[in-house]
Every structure is written in structure tokens, then in C-alpha cells.
């Protein structure tokens, strides 16, 4: 996220301190980044971009209640921003509150431009978790229309087909995902399961072996 996208005049703004805070956050040293953002926000209270990044740090530091409150405040302060809604969606999904996650990701879709397709992909998964398979399908189809060469979107479409026991349809989408991203381990795992259901035991074994060669730890076939 570029700070300039959320520029608010501030007398004591320190680009060097912001760079340090972001570098610490990128290294997942959230506690140290937290204090840098705290200082930045205290000296630049009108900079909502800094508030957003500080809220992210709070979430990573386990200060969930404070982070959620801040994201919701930012929705009121900056009603045209999509990022606070998207962060709330991710948070609620991590808590398996897919109803709230779906609500906020739909808001992010409405507000977003260049991230719209990615948000549609997330929304599709939340809709599936809410037992709304048709909504999930329409969302991932819309995402693929915007980004037709996105392997991860084909994987989501395959997950939907697999969940509906359409193993041949899932296989077709997984073939496309692997063609676009040859090292897509989860796609190989799920394709192995599809082939097993279609009684292609040799193909299932080969795909599973390929998946396991791409990583040391076994992953869920549904990602």
C-alpha cells in the first residue's frame, strides 16, 4: 500500500519512520512495527492511511477488538475505501463467521476497482461456506471474466465443482489451473482426489506424488 494514496497534510510526518514500520511489518515483526505506527499515528492523527496500517498491526498482535473497531471507524471516515471492508472480511473468515465475512467482502467488491476480481474470488468461497453454491459460481465466473488467466480463480471454481460432486468439471478447471501455474501444489492434490473419484487410480497416484514433491507437508485438498 502506498502512503501517498492516503495523503493527509501533517507537520511532523516522518517518511523514514514509516519505512521502518513497514519493513518490520513485512518481516512479521509486528510488535516492533506496532510502536512505530503508534508514534506515527499520534503525531499524524488525521492520516487515515496510517490508521489503517496500524489497525493491521493491532490485528497481527492479537488486539482483535481494537483492530475491528478501528476498521469499522475507517469505514465511516472513508466510505469510498475498500480496504477496511476487505480486512474485516478476512478477519471474520478466520473466525469462521462467514456471514459477516461475506457481508464485508461484498462491500469491498462494490467499492474496489483493480482488486475487484480477487475480492470476488474470496466472496465465492464465503458463499460456498454459507451453502450458496449458485452465488459462489456466479462470483467466480465474474472473477474469471475480469482475469481469465488467473490460476487461483480456476482452482476456486474447481473447489466449487468438487463440493458439488462434479468431479469431471473440477478436473477441467484444475487442468487449466496447472497449465497456468505448473507448481500449484494444491491443484495437484485436488486433481488427485478428482481422479480417484473417477476411478483413475494411476492418475490420482501420479498427481499426488507430484503434489508431495512440491512441498514437505501435506495440505488439505481444499486449500
Q: Nearest 10 degrees: CA dihedral of 90, 87, 75, 28?
A: 150
pLDDT value for 12? 61
Q: CB–CB of 190/206 below 8 Å?
A: no
Residues of the chain short of pLDDT 50, as ranges, are 1-11, 217-223
pLDDT value for 14? 83
pLDDT value for 219? 44
Q: Which fold has domain 82-148?
A: 1.25.40
Dist CA 109 CA 113 (whole Å): 8
CATH number belonging to domain 165-223: 1.25.40
Dist CA 195 CA 212 (whole Å): 16
Dist CA 206 CA 123 (whole Å): 32
CATH number belonging to domain 1-75: 1.25.40
Q: CB–CB of 92/101 below 8 Å?
A: yes
Q: Report pLDDT digits (tens) over 143-171.
A: 999 999 999 999 999 999 999 999 999 99
Q: What residues contact 113, with CB distance under 8 A and at least 6 apart? A: none
DSSP 115-147: THHHHHHHHHHHHHHTT-HHHHHHHHHHHHHH-
- Among 84, 13, 98, smallest CA distance to 53 is for 84
pLDDT value for 216? 53
Q: What residues contact 208, with CB distance under 8 A and at least 6 apart? A: 188, 189, 192
Sketch the domain layout of the chain as residue ranges: 1-75, 82-148, 165-223
Q: What is the pTM of this model?
A: 0.85
pLDDT value for 13? 66
Q: Do 82-148 and 165-223 fold alike per CATH?
A: yes
Amino acid at each position: 500500500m502506498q502512503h501517498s494514496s492516503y495523503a493527509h497534510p501533517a507537520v511532523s510526518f516522518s517518511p523514514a519512520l514509516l519505512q521502518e514500520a513497514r519493513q518490520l511489518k513485512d518481516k512479521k515483526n509486528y510488535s516492533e512495527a506496532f510502536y512505530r505506527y503508534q508514534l506515527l499515528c499520534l503525531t499524524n492523527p488525521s492520516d487515515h492511511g496510517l490508521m489503517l496500517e496500524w489497525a493491521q498491526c493491532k490485528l497481527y498482535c492479537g488486539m482483535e477488538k481494537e483492530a475491528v473497531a478501528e476498521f469499522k471507524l475507517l469505514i465511516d471516515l472513508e466510505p469510498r475505501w475498500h480496504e477496511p471492508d476487505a480486512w474485516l472480511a478476512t478477519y471474520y473468515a478466520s473466525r469462521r463467521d462467514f456471514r459477516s465475512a461475506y457481508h464485508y467482502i461484498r462491500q469491498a467488491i462494490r467499492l474496489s476497482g483493480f482488486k475487484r476480481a480477487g475480492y470476488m474470488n474470496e466472496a465465492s468461497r464465503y458463499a460456498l461456506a454459507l451453502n450458496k453454491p449458485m452465488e459462489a459460481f456466479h462470483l467466480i465466473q465474474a472473477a474469471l471474466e475480469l482475469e481469465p488467466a488467473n490460476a487461483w480463480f480456476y482452482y476456486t471454481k474447481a473447489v466449487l465443482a468438487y463440493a458439488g460432486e462434479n468431479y469431471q468439471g473440477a478436473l477441467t478447471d484444475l487442468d487449466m489451473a496447472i497449465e497456468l501455474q505448473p507448481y500449484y501444489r494444491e491443484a495437484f492434490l485436488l486433481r488427485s482426489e478428482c481422479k480417484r473419484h473417477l476411478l483413475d487410480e494411476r492418475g490420482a497416484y501420479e498427481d499426488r506424488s507430484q503434489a508431495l514433491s512440491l512441498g514437505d507437508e501435506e495440505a488439505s485438498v481444499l486449500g
